[in-house]
Structure 1
Amino acid sequence: MKFLIIIPAHNEEKNLPFTLDSLQQQSFKDFTVVVVNDGSSDGTSGVIKRYTESDFRFETITLQKSSHQPGSKVVAAFKKGLETKNLADFDIVCKFDSDIILNENYLQKIADAFAENPDYGLVGGLLYLEKNGEWVYEGNSNKNHVRGPMKAYRKECFQEIGGLRETLGWDNIDAILLKNSGWKEVVIPELQVKLIKVKGADYTIKPADYYGRYFYFLGLNRFLTYIAAAKEASKAKSPSFLMQIINSYEKCRSQHLELKISKKEQKVINDERWNQFKKKWFKI
């Protein structure tokens, strides 16, 4: 197994060394890392240079500064890194964030999982955050979903689903599409990935607007969107939050904003969401 690891990085001077150090300390050594310096204005380039000059497995490209949009920016940077390599030379394609710390056996465990299970398409660990001096499970998603900061795809699966989409919701779109294609998404609980920075902390988009846009770009129809919006409003204990999410979603619809998924893929996503809803609430 040979890994291709793409790491988008924007102003990560303080966090990136932890990520790259944890990669250098891996027990599994057969990997190539491409760090995509996405318009950084701090000392990120200097950090990257230290690794590329001392370790042949580390490479980099530099992009011009672009606006920070949830989802689309990081995937666009990832794709630029991907373009520098020939996928035929690799077995596993990884999209890692620039502010995570991996166990020293992380890549080895991922490689073993793929080697022993030919139907595994996407594998990862669980995210942990530091609270009061201890690392605790993040808890933002179910424990069967591989989160965006540490995605590892079997190359054939990655190619079959058409790679990653430059859109909000990309890290759920991939999971639904690969499942529809017969691949499995697998979380290995003992692989604890330390997340140094809380995701979304530097986004300027408001929570209600985020959810409305997320449901739209995920391709959800009105019925499923309203159900999902009601769920979020219930968690927030705010009826007004429901209307704010719906207004954001309807605004996107009225503007006919471009989706990064086909009509066929949109149907697959809606069908999967509907099946999840029936299974959870009606035990069907």
Structure 2
Amino acid sequence: MRFLIVIPAHNEEDHLSFTLDSLQQQRYKDFKVVISNDGSTDQTAEVIKKYTDSDPRFETINLQKSQHQPGSKVVNAFKKGLDTQNMGAFDIICKFDADIILSEDYLETIEKAFRNNPDYGLVGGLLYVEKDGDWVYEGNSNKHHVRGPMKAYRKECFLEMGGLRETLGWDNIDSILLENLGWKEVVLADLKVKLIKVKGADYTVRESDYYGRYFYFLGLNRFLAYIASSKEAMKSKSVSFFFKIIKTYEACRSKKLELKISKDEQKVINAQRWKALKKKWLRI
């Protein structure tokens, strides 16, 4: 199976070479990499050139800096890179971040999982971050969800679910939609992916605004959005945090901001969230 790997990159001069080196060191060699340079103002382009000049599997596309919001920004750059390729020549579509390090057997293991399991639609490993000189599990509570920095989709699944959505929450929307279509999302716990920097470090949006927008663009109805907001407020032990999230969510509703999911997809997402809520909290 052949991989198409698209890597959105904006000002990643300090991290990108680690990612690209780890790809060159893969035991599995049948892949193409497209680095989507999203208006970088540092030396990212020069880093990319070292690889495109010496390895025909590496290509790049240079974009004007995206003005999109967190979430949609990275997907926009990903799509621009994807558009440069003939998807018919590939079997596995990957969206990787520009600040991860993959083990030498990463692509080999992913390919084997897809080849041996025709119902697998999305596969990935687990994220690890550096702490006190050691690489430790990032700590995301859901070990069954493939995180945004290392998505690998079976092409048929990717096309059937309509690709990625340019919106906050895209990396949860994909999971819900593909599961609804009968595909499986699988995390291979033995595959460790090193994350060099903390996600969200480049964003200036307030945390309460982030959650309010996230719940809105995920398509949650008011009841589920309020439940989700209360959970975040409990984690923060702050009643005011709940009202701040809700304020942003309601502002998005009143402005009728465009959603990147259809009405039917909203129903699917809300049904899935309600099902998870009943299972976890109501024990139904």
Describe the superposition over 1:112-138 as per-residue Cα deviations: whole angstroms up to 9, x where unpaired: 000000000000000000000011111
Q: Which residue of the partner structure matches residue 254 of structure 1?
A: 254
1:164 aligns with 2:172: no
CA distance in 2, matches of 1:255, 1:141: 33
Q: Which residue of the partner structure matches residue 16 of structure 2?
A: 16
CA distance in 2, matches of 1:147, 1:141: 12
Describe the superposition over 1:178-202 as per-residue Cα deviations: whole angstroms up to 9, x where unpaired: 0000000000001000000100011
Describe the superposition over 1:64-113 as per-residue Cα deviations: whole angstroms up to 9, x where unpaired: 11236210010000000010011110000000000000000000000000
Provide the secondary structure at the position in 2 that maps to 1:65: coil
Describe the superposition over 1:30-83 as per-residue Cα deviations: whole angstroms up to 9, x where unpaired: 000000010000000000000000000000000011236210010000000010
1:121 aligns with 2:82: no
**Percent identical across equivalent pairs?**
74
Q: Does the aligned pair in 2 maintain the 1:212–1:248 contact within 8 Å?
A: yes
Provide the secondary structure at the position in 1 that maps to 2:165: coil
CA distance in 2, matches of 1:156, 1:102: 24
CA distance in 1, matches of 2:218, 2:6: 23
Q: Which residue of the partner structure matches residue 53 of structure 2?
A: 53
Provide the secondary structure at the position in 1 that maps to 2:93: strand
Q: Which residue of the partner structure matches residue 86 of structure 1?
A: 86
Number of aligned positions between the proteins: 284
More off after superposition, 138-147 vs 244-253 = 138-147
Provide the secondary structure at the position in 1 that maps to 2:136: strand
Equivalent AA in structure 2 for residue 248 of structure 1: T
Equivalent AA in structure 2 for residue 34 of structure 1: V
CA distance in 2, matches of 1:96, 1:141: 21
Provide the secondary structure at the position in 2 that maps to 1:28: coil
How far 1:141 sits from its partner (Å)?
A: 4.1
Could you list the structure 1 runs, at least 4 aligned residues long, displaced by more than 6 angstroms after superposition.
none
Describe the superposition over 1:256-278 as per-residue Cα deviations: whole angstroms up to 9, x where unpaired: 00000000000000000000000
Q: Which residue of the partner structure matches residue 241 of structure 1?
A: 241
How far 1:140 sits from its partner (Å)?
A: 2.5
More off after superposition, 63-72 vs 251-260 = 63-72
CA distance in 2, matches of 1:18, 1:190: 21
Distance verdict in 2 for CA 1:187–1:205, change over 3 Å: same
**Any gaps of 5 or more consecutive residues in structure 2?**
none
1:206 aligns with 2:223: no
Provide the secondary structure at the position in 2 that maps to 1:264: helix
CA distance in 2, matches of 1:194, 1:124: 13
**Any gaps of 5 or more consecutive residues in structure 1?**
none
Equivalent AA in structure 2 for residue 4 of structure 1: L
1:179 aligns with 2:182: no
Q: Which residue of the partner structure matches residue 149 of structure 1?
A: 149
**What TM-score comes out, normalization by structure 1 length?**
0.99
CA distance in 2, matches of 1:234, 1:222: 18
1:217 aligns with 2:229: no
1:271 aligns with 2:267: no
CA distance in 1, matches of 2:235, 2:81: 38
CA distance in 2, matches of 1:193, 1:115: 21
CA distance in 2, matches of 1:251, 1:6: 34
Q: Does the aligned pair in 1 maintain the 2:66–2:77 contact within 8 Å?
A: no
CA distance in 2, matches of 1:121, 1:181: 10
CA distance in 2, matches of 1:166, 1:90: 23
CA distance in 1, matches of 2:87, 2:140: 32
CA distance in 1, matches of 2:228, 2:135: 30
Q: Does the aligned pair in 2 maintain the 1:68–1:203 contact within 8 Å?
A: no
CA distance in 2, matches of 1:72, 1:90: 24
